[in-house]
Amino acid sequence: MEYDLVLIHPPSVYDFRKRTLFLGPITRTVPYTPVFIMFPVGLLSIADFLYRHGYKVKVLNLGEKMLAEPNLDVESYLKSISARVFGIDLHWCIHAQGAMETAKLCKEQHPESLIVLGGLTATAFDVEIVSKWRYVDFVLRGEAEHPMLRLMQELDGSRKLFNAPNLTYIDEAGDIHVNPYMKVPESLDEFEFTRLDLVEPCEHVLTTSVGFKSLRLWNIPVCRGCIFNCATCGGSAYSYEKLMKRKELAIRSPDKVVEDFQRLDQRGINSVFMFQDMRMCGEKYWKELIERLHKEKWTNIDHVTIELFYPPDDKFLKALSDCKPADELGMGISPDSGDEYVRKPHGRAYPNSALLTTVESSKKYGLSLAAFFMIGLAEETRESLKNTWALWDKLLQANEPGRVSVGVGFCPMIVLDPSSPAFDNPDHYGYLVRFRNLADHIGGMSSPSWKYWINYETKNLKREDLVALTLESSIQLTNLYEKFGMFTDSQASSERVKIGLERIVLKEVDQILMVKDEKERERRLKELDLVVRNPSLAYSYLLTSDEGWETLKEEM
């Protein structure tokens, strides 16, 4: 079939099936594998908007298709797809390598088609992209629904691309053009975020597990934009104004959110994550929204999670309890650090006491809470991190035997978001940015070790410190899971062995990367990968290595 527009979500690393990658904790903290196959919901709103204006549109989740079909010849497959325009999302920086390789492949297979990149990261590096990677015809900056429609309309007519808003491109004379931004929509009600029928494939993205329960999950926004300025967030108020020219929230009305739920329920989705804190839209809004959802009778949806940007008061929690949008309601909050001194300049200016009060109130109202933390904030030290571990202990103590109402998770802050307040003003916030441009990010993320994906250091912590504290935090959380019965003894022991092996692997990869002969370097990486993938070999490897044995004894 011939399409007008094919929107592609690339894997984080395009040739992940051939490359030898050691991604350590990323493989256990990122849903849907470290290939990052979850795509931004903006792809659906763009696709639907163009579809409703008469264009033939498809969303291709390339990373998922490559996972689902290990023998897929990607080059032949892309060649079989005919489209006037291929739009590739470079929204999250973690997709830098995958997005550019996918763009190159699309241009090679379809030299007459136009290649367009969009998303937060593409917007942040727009001039660099069109200058260095000439197979990219355009970067479409900012919010893309209306600008993409205008671009397609220009292609239908005179092809006077200087009229298309939000475009960055180089003309035939080699001059760079950065077209003015289009005014952003004041509301999200004209867009749709549930057109999963336009996606190929989406089964892996929709299916996840919570405990022993399998969920078909989708995400819907309650608004676009933010009123907060968390230092490392590329979706902060500062970043939205800089990259999207959005100064105010665009809110999705309760009517439209209910319609979203209805469509998802009809598609067999049983879990919905409402992202962005609905309280940013005001008390009148969130009251109406939860009351409307509570009145609906769902055939499939039985699990809803809402995002919290700060601890809720008792009024909000009681309202949620009285008007649950579904049988099971969960909340997610990201304190990021358990040390109040570290947390405040990051943008989370609330005390631990408020978080612990939320836990007790949530239990009182029968609500569950998941708290998420990051390792590597600017003011963090090993001593301050002990306060985070202590807070984990207090949070998990709140769980009752046989019932987990409070969850704790963490991950290393691999990427300091481009165009976040801290990325643009690192000295002020206490960071050292190692990768200033997109080429640097691609270089780092082409490394086989997650250690070299980290794009920053702090005034207190070097890259090696960030790695070491991440693994030490993994041990601490494993110990707590065992202490509170969330891990059996055997599960905890297995986890400690994995962490011990990761420490050895990090050092082994560092040594291998020093080998000058490329073939020998690749041979040794593949040999190490074989060990890591085979539990019995990995255990033997630890036992036969002096350093490994000492590490194993320490972890056990």
* SS3 of residue 170 by DSSP: strand
pLDDT at 185 over 70: yes
pLDDT at 208 over 90: no
Maximum pairwise Cα distance, the chain: 71
Quick one: pLDDT at residue 443?
A: 96
Percent of the chain at pLDDT > 90 equals 85
| Positive/negative CA dihedral, 262, 265, 269, 270 | positive
Q: Report the alpha-carbon distance of residue 521 to residue 23 in Å, rounded.
A: 18
The mean predicted confidence, pLDDT, of the chain is 93
Q: Helices H, strands E: what count in the chain?
A: 24, 19
pLDDT band at 549 (very low <50, low <70, confident <90, very high): very low
Residue partners of 139: CB distance under 8 A and separation at least 6:
116, 117, 118, 122, 123, 126, 129, 130, 167, 168, 169
Give the pairing of strands 82-89 and 114-118: parallel
Quick one: pLDDT at residue 334?
A: 96
526 burial (CB, 10 Å; 0-12 / 13-18 / 19+) is: exposed
Outline where DSSP puts E strands in 148-302: 167-170, 176-178, 199-200, 207-210, 213-221, 223-224, 250-251, 271-275
- 115: β partners: 86
Phi, psi of 53 (to 5 degrees): -100, 15
Q: Report the alpha-carbon distance of residue 22 to residue 504 in Å, rounded.
A: 11
For the segment 30-35, the average pLDDT, to the nearest whole number, is 65
Q: What single-letter amino acid sits at 75?
A: E
Q: How many CB atoms lie within 10 A of CB 227?
A: 15
* Higher per-residue confidence, 80 vs 160: 80
| Positive/negative CA dihedral, 483, 487, 491, 494 | negative
For the segment 118-124, the average pLDDT, to the nearest whole number, is 98
For the segment 276-297, the average pLDDT, to the nearest whole number, is 97
Quick one: pLDDT at residue 551?
A: 52
User: Could you report the per-residue pLDDT of 369-382, keeping only the tens digit for each?
Assistant: 999 999 999 999 99
Q: Angle between the 314-322 and 283-295 helix axes, to the nearest 10 degrees?
A: 20
pLDDT at 556 over 60: no
Quick one: pLDDT at residue 553?
A: 46
For the segment 399-403, the average pLDDT, to the nearest whole number, is 80
Quick one: pLDDT at residue 226?
A: 98
Quick one: pLDDT at residue 494?
A: 87
pLDDT at 235 over 70: yes
Q: How many CB atoms lie within 10 A of CB 547?
A: 12
Long-range CB contacts (< 8 A, 24+ apart) of 442-449? Answer: 442/96, 442/97, 442/100, 445/12, 445/13, 445/94, 445/96, 445/97, 446/13, 446/97, 447/513, 448/19, 448/20, 448/21, 448/22, 448/509, 448/513, 448/525, 449/22, 449/24, 449/506, 449/509, 449/510, 449/513
pTM for the full predicted model: 0.95
Among 439, 387, 448, 401, residue whose Cα is nearest residue 418:
439
Quick one: pLDDT at residue 241?
A: 98
User: Could you report the per-residue pLDDT of 289-328, keeping only the tens digit for each?
Assistant: 999 999 999 999 999 999 999 999 999 999 999 999 999 9
Residue 38 CA, distance from chain mean position: 8
Secondary structure of 41-82 in HEC code, one letter for each residue: CHHHHHHHHHHHCCCCEEEEEHHHHHHHCCCCCHHHHHHCCE
pLDDT band at 64 (very low <50, low <70, confident <90, very high): very high
Percent of the chain at pLDDT > 70 equals 93
For the segment 441-460, the average pLDDT, to the nearest whole number, is 96
pLDDT at 542 over 70: no
Residue 293 CA, distance from chain mean position: 27
Quick one: pLDDT at residue 555?
A: 47
Q: How many CB atoms lie within 10 A of CB 514?
A: 8
For the segment 178-196, the average pLDDT, to the nearest whole number, is 97
pLDDT at 113 over 60: yes
Both structure tokens of 50: 């163009």
Quick one: pLDDT at residue 24?
A: 85
User: Could you report the per-residue pLDDT of 141-179, keeping only the tens digit for each?
Assistant: 999 999 999 999 999 876 677 789 999 999 989 999 999
Q: Report the alpha-carbon distance of residue 375 to residue 448 in Å, rounded.
A: 21
| Positive/negative CA dihedral, 488, 490, 491, 492 | positive
Quick one: pLDDT at residue 35?
A: 83
Q: Report the alpha-carbon distance of residue 321 to residue 315 in Å, rounded.
A: 10
Residue partners of 402: CB distance under 8 A and separation at least 6:
none
Q: What is the CATH number of domain 2-178?
A: 3.40.50.2300
Asked which of 34-38, 290-294, 298-302, 473-477 is least confident by mean pLDDT, the reply is 34-38
Quick one: 211-484 is in which CATH superfamily? tm_1862 like domain (3.80.30.20)
Give the pairing of strands 207-210 and 213-221: antiparallel
* SS3 of residue 520 by DSSP: helix
Q: Angle between the 96-109 and 438-445 helix axes, to the nearest 10 degrees?
A: 100
Domain boundaries of the chain, sorted by first residue: 2-178, 211-484, 502-555
Give the pairing of strands 176-178 and 167-170: antiparallel
Quick one: pLDDT at residue 404?
A: 73
Residue partners of 1: CB distance under 8 A and separation at least 6:
56, 82
